Structure 1
Amino acid sequence: NGDGDVNDAGEVKLYFDGSHTGGNDLLLMRGMDVTEADVVYAVGLRPYPALFVGPDGNTMIHRFEDLNGDLTAMDAGEQQLSIFDVQSVGPGPLFPIPPNHGNMMCDPADFSVRGVSAWTDLGGGILGSHGVPTLTGEGSLVAGTLTSIHLVNAPPNAPMYLWMSFSSTPTPLFGGVLYTVPIDLQVLLNANAAGELSLFTVWPAMIPPGFNTWIQFVIQDNTLTPRMSFSSALMLTTP
């Protein structure tokens, strides 16, 4: 209602209430962050000796994601508990035990998740007759969501290959950089009369988080020697 707070009825929704957990590792939530893909990461502290028998306290990071669109993470499979557990790392320079305290626990007051873009522009394009062919992409790369790529600055109606690689060995060539080496997939396509091309698809399931895919166009350009140019390359990272 624009009153500067979220204290009114209907302005707060419970996202997770401890369902499908024993609740023990969810005490004293001290930090939270949300990624662009609406994945919630939260920090839970297990103090010692106030609430648990020692010898050590603990700090855990938990991951929550709404997978069925009900705006909660209370369903089975929507929680990944203790994706980080300080006890599993053990005491050391990163997590020392304070003298005379016996409590290996950190208190992350400013906890945040480093944002990793789903799309990384790598450059590498070759200047052609209509400028450097430029490739851009849109979409979250979350399974089942719309994903699109767009190419501009190609010669009108130019034939081209879309090359895709699941690993990358950047290879300087003809004044550009070819990132899609080795080539794992190629598709023959054509630009339209404006020298542009747009492709749309639904991002597939079962691709693990953090998986990288490289894409780049190799385009026929009769004004160059040899008669080809590269578009800029993109690296796609599944969240």
Structure 2
Amino acid sequence: MHDLLRDMGREIVRKESINHPGKRNRLWHHKDIYQVLKKNTGTEAIEGISLDMNKVNREIHMNSYAFSKMPKLRFLRFYGDKNKCMVSHLEGVPFAEVRHLEWPQCPLKTLNICAEKLVSLKMPCTKVEQLWDDVQNLVNLKEIDLHSSRSLRKLPDFSQAENFLRLDSCLSLTVTHSSIQYLNKLEVLSLHRRESLRSLPTSIHSKCLKELHFSGCSNLKNF
């Protein structure tokens, strides 16, 4: 029954604009998404994109304005064994309404976005060196997963984020932001294989902490 309802819903969405997928509110078929991102034909109608990159036969080389025409985008999920979505940087103010952002092996070096409505950020194995520069109100952010992002050097202020922070194998990150100690709803802090990590804040004031992983942090001196 679930699959039948899903397929029925997708068919309704497809009929919104049969010949112009960029005018639909949700995109999930890899050929439609390829067309929209490659040719930059997205519109403000798009609210969700879910792309299985394993189904894409070739890389999608997007221009820097690929998301600039999608101001209502709330859900962006790229998933699969290998990143197929290539872009060197993003222009404009992308992702201002995004709640869920998932992009493993993301090629961007910076992710300078408006993150105040983000609930979940999943970007493992990326080339990101730093996230946003400014202090943002991250009260909605529940989950952060940047594990194996080996170029990550700088973290933003996470003082209002909650629940889950994963930074395993971020080998270039020598220190963590002091805001980690004020994550009073933090449940999981995973720093596995952070060989360059030398120190952490002197205390973590979380009443909800359930898991703390330090294995492989061979140079950690102070905690």
Normalized per residue, the structure richer in strand is 1
TM, length-normalised to structure 1:
0.22
TM, length-normalised to structure 2:
0.23
- Higher relative CO (CA 8 A, sep ≥ 6), structure 1 or 2? 1
Normalized per residue, the structure richer in helix is 2
